[in-house]
Structure 1
């Protein structure tokens, strides 16, 4: 996929298959323009908090700064994408030390419904990280991970554990596991056809004639 496809093309195929809402919100952008991310989703569910510890809390996470963040991060597998959502974007969901751990685990990267921090360190690592941008405010007293490896939604797009996450400068696409083989096969076929269309247009064929001839544009 990284060598032969791009998210826009696969998204077009998913449209034809009836999966019309698979791109995450456009605010989720790569830290570096050249970043491409592809891997299996490891969804992480966040919640806003109002202190690192809450002595009067009734839940098991009340006394735990960051909640289950460390357990979730340590559970990342090779080729997986850490996908975090669930809280208001008031603090960073990712940072330099998390990047170091994710790279040691050979993760594919991170997609955040919010911000990262330690931008120079994360950028220098080369790990693909997508989100709203850099923002230094710490998660510690403001948010907790409450669960992971559970289905989540980002602006109405469902992300289930094991779905393929595919992103570049044009956006992040979620490919449901149930249809991934057909979607990728058809995308590879369309890629070959688009190359023929490009060659034909470069040779002088009109766009109308190209569409009539090849059926794609």
Structure 2
């Protein structure tokens, strides 16, 4: 696992910034493919999901090895991941972008919630999705799925590098999910990305206010002249931003 430890200050900053803003700051650093594809929230929430990644990898099921009896083993990777994912982390599952069988259901997700896990993400599907949507924990998937994971997916290992929605996820990476989707921040960049996105968010809020008041975007967004910058400085003082 990454030696990086997500601080309360960085977590709080990322709790209120949008994934598109994060994507722009990552693009400035040459990172183009950090937004997990075809994954969406089961329900809208007031705050973002923020936490370091704890991963689970599925492979195609082998019928002779993937029967209901596997759950007799307390170290079965799916069950073990639910019990070992640390509080404040996000469980991220590589389900091979296959939602034909469920990555988990409401009982496992409820257990994650009760253990203080910050959220759960799969590029497959969840069963019991209406019940999961009503939980407090933030959850993201491709689409609902009824069949048990055993029919198509074999949980093989946890807390290893995975691919989720065509994005590389390493244990300890910082995962941020809002009401649009989920983005992955490499752990070593998390503090600086958090600081920059807070600044960007303040400017974007200022720009939105100006545009809704009738201002042109030329020179304003992005700020390519001195006048918007000076006006933004006044706006920040007046709004405590």
**Matching residue of 2:41:** 30
Residue number in structure 2 paired with 1:64:
70
The number of residue pairs the alignment matches comes to 208
Q: Aligned-pair RMSD on alpha carbons?
A: 2.4
The Cα offsets for residues 29-62 of structure 1, whole Å up to 9 and x where unpaired, read as 111134742211111111121436369xxxxxxx
Residue 205 (structure 1) shift: 2.1
Name the TM-score, length of structure 2 as normaliser. Answer: 0.78
Compute the displacement of 1:182 (Å). 1.2
Higher strand share: 1
Shift of 1:69: 1.2
Measure the CA separation in 2 of the matches of 1:64 and 1:79. 28
Q: Which has the higher helix share?
A: 2
Deviations 1:41-86 (A, max 9, x none): 111111121436369xxxxxxx735942111111111111111114
- What SS does the aligned partner of 1:64 have? helix
Report matched runs for 1:152-191 at 5 Å: 152-191=162-201
Normalising by structure 1, we get a TM-score of: 0.85
Equivalent residue in structure 2 for 1:115, among 116, 122, 125? 125
Quote the offset at 1:148 in angstroms. Answer: 0.7
Q: Which moved more, 1:199-208 or 1:14-23?
A: 199-208
Rounded to whole Å, the distance in 1 between the matches of 2:34 and 2:15 is 21
Structure 2: stretches of 5+ with no match in the other structure: 1-12, 230-241
- Note the residue ranges of structure 1 that are not aligned, 5 or more in a row: 56-62
Aligned equivalents of 1:162, 1:103: Cα separation in 2: 19
**Is the 2:123–2:165 contact (alpha carbons within 8 Å) kept by the matching residues of 1?**
no
